[in-house]
Amino acid sequence: MRIIHCTKKLFQELDVNILEPDNIPSTPEGLGNWYANLIRIDRRKCILFTNEKTLYSFLIPKVLKSNLKNIEEEFLINLNLNLQAEGFSLEVISRVMQEYGEIGFAKTANKRVLGSMNELAYLYAVHIIEDGGFDNIRMLQLNQRINRTPMSALKYQFPIEVLKKVLQGVP
């Protein structure tokens, strides 16, 4: 089972069971767990997903209640689309999708990831506003641009490069 660690703000909008910290499995192999936060950009609700190992992130813009009811499905669809846009093979994407066959939800536990997510949320907001709002952006390209920003929590590596290493099994 893989976990999506959600912020309080996001949990208030979701109708999911929260796992207790004792029931959260460790994830030494694969991509592992993700963090999710509900943010507002240009007066619209958005969900920012960030991988805890790689800080690879993607934003789901203009979130509606129907999106929140099916958050697992929204997560998997958008993860798949972003991995395709990054040029990963169908074999790699299939392996990643299998890893997330069962998803649980828990409270946030890693302040390093949360701090990075705050930085990423700011970057998304700046790019979206500079480009004239959601109607003038292509979300997959914006996600790619954000994942090519060096992150201090990764010792100034790019999240996309760390993701590639993890998916290729390179230490």
What tens digit of pLDDT does each residue of 2-14 get? 999 999 999 999 9
Q: Could you tell me the CATH number of the domain that includes residue 77?
A: 3.30.420
Q: What is the pLDDT of residues 36-51, one digit of tens each?
A: 999 999 999 999 999 9
> Between the CA of residue 25 and those of 2, 50, 77, what are the distances in Å?
8, 18, 24
**Count of structural domains within the chain:** 1
pTM of structure: 0.94
What is the per-residue pLDDT across 114-138, written as a single tens digit (0 to 9) for each?
A: 999 999 999 999 999 999 999 999 9
Note down the domain range covering 142: 2-167
Q: Is the distance from CB of 96 to CB of 25 less than 8 angstroms? A: no
Under 8 Å between Cβ of 68 and 13: yes
Question: Strands of 57-60's sheet, edge to edge?
Answer: 57-60, 44-51, 34-41, 2-6, 103-107
Strand partners, 51: 34
